[in-house]
Amino acid sequence: MTFPEHLWLIPALPLLAALVGAFTPRAQRKISSAAALLAMAASFGVACAALSSALAQPAAHQVSNFTWMAVGQFNLQFGFLLDPLGAFMAVMVTFVGFLIFLFSTGYMRDDENYAKFFCYLSLFAAAMLGLLVSNSLLLTFLCWEIVGLASYLLIGFWFHKPEAAAAAKKAFITTRVGDLGFLLGLLWLDSALHTQLFYNNGVGFLETAALDYLAVALPCGLLVSSAIGLLLFCGAVGKSGQFPLHVWLPDAMEGPTPVSALIHAATMVAAGVFLMARIFPLLSPDALTVVATIGAITALLGAVIAVTQNDIKRVLAFSTVSQLGYMMLAIGVGCPEAAIFHLLTHAFFKALLFLGAGSVIFAAHHEQDMRFMGGLAPRMKITFATFAIGMMALAGVPFLFSGFWSKEAILHGAHAWPTSPLPFYIGLVAVVLTAFYMTRLMANVFFGAPRSHAAEDAKENSWVMTLPLALLAVCAVLLGFLGTPAWPWLQAQLTGTEISSAPDFAKIFEGPGLLATSIVLVALGLGAGWAVYGFQKRATASEPDPLEKKFPRAWAALEHRLYFDELYAATVFRLNNALAFVADALDRWVIDQAVCFVGKLGEFLGFINKDIDEQGLNAGFDATAGKIRDTAGAYSSAQTGEAHGYLRVLALGFVALVILVAVLSC
């Protein structure tokens, strides 16, 4: 089997499209979007071929490795890996990506930087796909960083909005803090094993030999492999918007809506979950407990905050935070296949919800505040219908919708976790909250009377925008049937186990009444939501939320997202700035002044020397010189210039010389 050798095509095609986009002149902007769409379609084809090749041997890890950088006997290696996990993800990203690209051709058609937008989107897709097919932690890191960069460029795409520019910066720097952990984990791994490859015929670091080698306890009791895994988890926390680095994700909604759909809902933020699923063998129970805890906190936090937000995209953003928390929780309780199942279903229905929100926002002349919407259901029928499907999938409405099955899988996993029942209960609470806030959103946006002119004028969008919605809606329903307890085909492929060909419907109702519990909880959430927001619909935009009237303080705190941003501004940023100012002052006033002092000291010595020179040494020199001059003057008076005088002296000298010779020779 040589398929892994062709895997590079999957990221390379969008990269090529990005290059084309970078050099597309404004006038021919269609070239950029055409190249992007074409590349995504082609990548989708290759990814499907890869998936079928991977499913032929689901338990195998087919690899193709090569050396990127060699320093003596130390090599930094890249490689491509074909297994169901990566292949499923690649198919999902290329498919969702293609639909979002298509949607963008409509959504961004009035933007003057249209060509550049598709260039960035393609760059993002290339990096994301590279990450998925990578067999090298180093290549993963590399793509990881480029994904972050593309996300920065896209969040800040409307950089004339100061909030967008600030959000882009915040996203980039916050995720880079997490990436620091990733980098350190990578360094540690390399120095311990001299390999960066996941799988390499027995010597990759996710294979038994290496794992045994790394199963050494550190002085603090943690295994080396877990410590590395937790460092890598820091990167995942940043990228996947987990507590406490979740602050960037809601702000990232300042980017164009297709970007939010593609990057900050469906794909990039899932990269962290994917990474954890990929390196799952590294993690020991200790490390998994940490992952589960962070996941549970994030799931609850996101859901609670989502209840109070008024910006439609921010509600969805916090719901993404919460759902990503679910996925991390699933990893932590030892069910990576459930996490990936939820990741895949979530990607479709969240992309659907975001694109639906984009459709609403586009129709409502870029109004994002739900208080100014209302009554859109009759005006935008396709958007409403598809959005409702996405909403029900997210809320986990039973049986028909994919979100129900994937959430079930996670709850089952959490229930079976021996360490602590807390994640399970948190998961249940979040189920209620999710159904609640999604009902609130639906009621505010689609029902009641329009509360602004923009909402009144809203019209359904063209097919390039509604077709992706419809396709995603179909997926949001169908995908769930790949992983029902009756026939968990997807999970079986991911874990590489055998599965019976016929579904066993009795299995659905096995277990300690979990199914019934979650159906009741979903109904509770939907009912409560409708009770608060459905019966008495919001009449004016300025009217406070019914819950706000009852619990003003708690509401305010949640609306300000529990003051995490303020907390970080008061601590981390202030500390950092203080340090920077201290360093600057040190440089200006201490080091530089010390140098200047040495300089002045030199100058001062120079003055002293000059004085010594002028008053002391020079005086002596002058005196000597003066004497010489006097003497010379005396001598020079002999130089009269008269020939007679000279002759006279000459004669005199001659006589004297003769006498001297005569005397001496005697």
Partner 1 sequence: MNLLPWTIYLSFIGASLAWLAGRRWSAPARWLALLTALGNLGIIGWAALDFSPAAETQTLVDLPWVSFASYHLAADGISMTLVLLTGIAALAGILFSWNITHRTGDFFALFLALIGGVYGVFLSADAFLLFVFYEIAIVPKYFLVAVWGSTNREYGAMKLVLYSFAGSALVMAGLLWAGAAGISFDMNFFAAQTRILSQVQQTGMFALIFTGFAVLAGMVPFHTWAPTGHVAAPTGASMLLAGVVMKLGAYGCLRLALPAFPLGLDFFQPLIAALGIAGILYAGLVALVQTDFKFVIGYSSVSHMGFVLLGLAVATPRALAGAVLQMFSHGIVAGLLFAVVGRMVYERTHTRDLHQLHRLPLFRMLPFAAVVFSLAGIASMGMPGFSGFPAEFSILIGTWQHNALWAVLAAIGIPVAAAYTLRVVHLAFFGKIAAEEISSADHPPLPPTTWPERLGAVLLLAVSITVGIHPGLLLDWIVPALQSPLMQIVSNGAAQ
399 is a contact residue toward partner 1 (CB under 8 A): no
Of 599 and 645, the one with the shorter C-beta distance to partner 1 is 599
Q: Name which of residues 152 to 211 contact partner 1 (CB under 8 A).
A: 152, 156, 159-160, 165, 169, 172-173, 176-177, 179-180, 183-184, 187-188, 190-191
604 is a contact residue toward partner 1 (CB under 8 A): no
572 is a contact residue toward partner 1 (CB under 8 A): no
Residue type present at position 647: L
Of 38 and 173, the one with the shorter C-beta distance to partner 1 is 173
547 is a contact residue toward partner 1 (CB under 8 A): no
577 is a contact residue toward partner 1 (CB under 8 A): yes
Member of 1, 56, 59, 69 binding partner 1 (CB under 8 A): 69
Of 167 and 391, the one with the shorter C-beta distance to partner 1 is 167
Residue range at the interface with partner 1 (CB under 8 A); choices 89-97, 487-495, 578-586, 628-636: 578-586
71 is a contact residue toward partner 1 (CB under 8 A): yes
Residues binding partner 1: number (CB under 8 A)? 44
Of 478 and 579, the one with the shorter C-beta distance to partner 1 is 579
Member of 579, 608, 619, 628 binding partner 1 (CB under 8 A): 579
Member of 1, 56, 59, 70 binding partner 1 (CB under 8 A): 70
Q: Could you tell me the smallest distance in angstroms from the CB atom of residue 207 to partner 1?
A: 22
Residue 144, phi then psi, degrees to nearest 5: -55, -45
DSSP string covering 175-217: HHHHHHHHHHHHHHHHHHHS--BS-STT-STTSHHHHHHH--B
Asked if 406 and 346 count as a contact pair (C-beta separation under 8 A), the reply is yes
Q: Could you tell me the smallest distance in angstroms from the CB atom of residue 152 to partner 1?
A: 8
Q: Could you tell me the smallest distance in angstroms from the CB atom of residue 189 to partner 1?
A: 10
Residue range at the interface with partner 1 (CB under 8 A); choices 83-91, 149-157, 376-384, 502-510: 149-157
Residue range at the interface with partner 1 (CB under 8 A); choices 3-11, 65-73, 288-296, 408-416: 65-73
CB within 8 Å of 61: residues ≥ 6 apart: 81, 82, 83, 198, 199, 204
**H helix count then E strand count, the chain:** 28, 2
587 is a contact residue toward partner 1 (CB under 8 A): yes
Member of 68, 425, 481, 564 binding partner 1 (CB under 8 A): 68
Asked if 292 and 389 count as a contact pair (C-beta separation under 8 A), the reply is no
> Please, what is the end-to-end C-alpha distance for the chain in angstroms?
125
Alpha-carbon distance of 223 to 72, in angstroms, equals: 30
566 is a contact residue toward partner 1 (CB under 8 A): no
Of 203 and 583, the one with the shorter C-beta distance to partner 1 is 583
553 is a contact residue toward partner 1 (CB under 8 A): no
DSSP string covering 510-567: -SSSHHHHHHHHHHHHHHHHIIIIISS---SSSSPPHHHHH-HHHHHHHHTGGGHHHH
Alpha helices, DSSP H, located in 194-335: 208-214, 224-239, 248-251, 257-261, 271-278, 285-306, 312-332
453 closest CA partner among 375, 542, 519, 510: 375
CB within 8 Å of 619: residues ≥ 6 apart: none
CB within 8 Å of 562: residues ≥ 6 apart: 301, 305
Alpha-carbon distance of 341 to 371, in angstroms, equals: 34
19 is a contact residue toward partner 1 (CB under 8 A): no
Member of 285, 421, 552, 599 binding partner 1 (CB under 8 A): 599
Helix (H, G, I), strand (E, B) or coil at 223: strand
129 is a contact residue toward partner 1 (CB under 8 A): no
DSSP string covering 453-513: HHHHH-----HHHHHHHHHHHHHHHHGGGGS-TTS-HHHHHHHT----SS--GGGGG-SSS
Member of 28, 462, 576, 640 binding partner 1 (CB under 8 A): 576
276 closest CA partner among 240, 318, 316: 240
CA angle 38, 41, 42 (to 5 degrees): 85
Instruction: Quickly count: other Cβ atoms within 10 Å of residue 565's Cβ.
Output: 16
111 is a contact residue toward partner 1 (CB under 8 A): no
222 is a contact residue toward partner 1 (CB under 8 A): no
Of 152 and 318, the one with the shorter C-beta distance to partner 1 is 152
Alpha-carbon distance of 181 to 194, in angstroms, equals: 19
Member of 8, 44, 80, 141 binding partner 1 (CB under 8 A): 141
251 is a contact residue toward partner 1 (CB under 8 A): no
Residues present in the chain in total? 666
Q: Name which of residues 628 to 647 contact partner 1 (CB under 8 A).
A: none
Alpha-carbon distance of 499 to 338, in angstroms, equals: 16
Q: Could you tell me the smallest distance in angstroms from the CB atom of residue 69 to partner 1?
A: 5
Of 194 and 537, the one with the shorter C-beta distance to partner 1 is 194
Member of 56, 422, 591, 625 binding partner 1 (CB under 8 A): 591
72 is a contact residue toward partner 1 (CB under 8 A): yes
Q: Could you tell me the smallest distance in angstroms from the CB atom of residue 161 to partner 1?
A: 10
Q: Could you tell me the smallest distance in angstroms from the CB atom of residue 633 to partner 1?
A: 45
| Token pair in block for residue 408 | 């079930």
| Token pair in block for residue 609 | 């020397």
Alpha-carbon distance of 401 to 526, in angstroms, equals: 15
Of 111 and 190, the one with the shorter C-beta distance to partner 1 is 190
Q: Could you tell me the smallest distance in angstroms from the CB atom of residue 579 to partner 1?
A: 5
Q: Could you tell me the smallest distance in angstroms from the CB atom of residue 375 to partner 1?
A: 33
| Contact positions vs partner 1 (CB under 8 A) | 68-72, 74, 76, 141-143, 145-146, 149, 152, 156, 159-160, 165, 169, 172-173, 176-177, 179-180, 183-184, 187-188, 190-191, 576-577, 579-581, 583-584, 586-587, 591-592, 595, 599
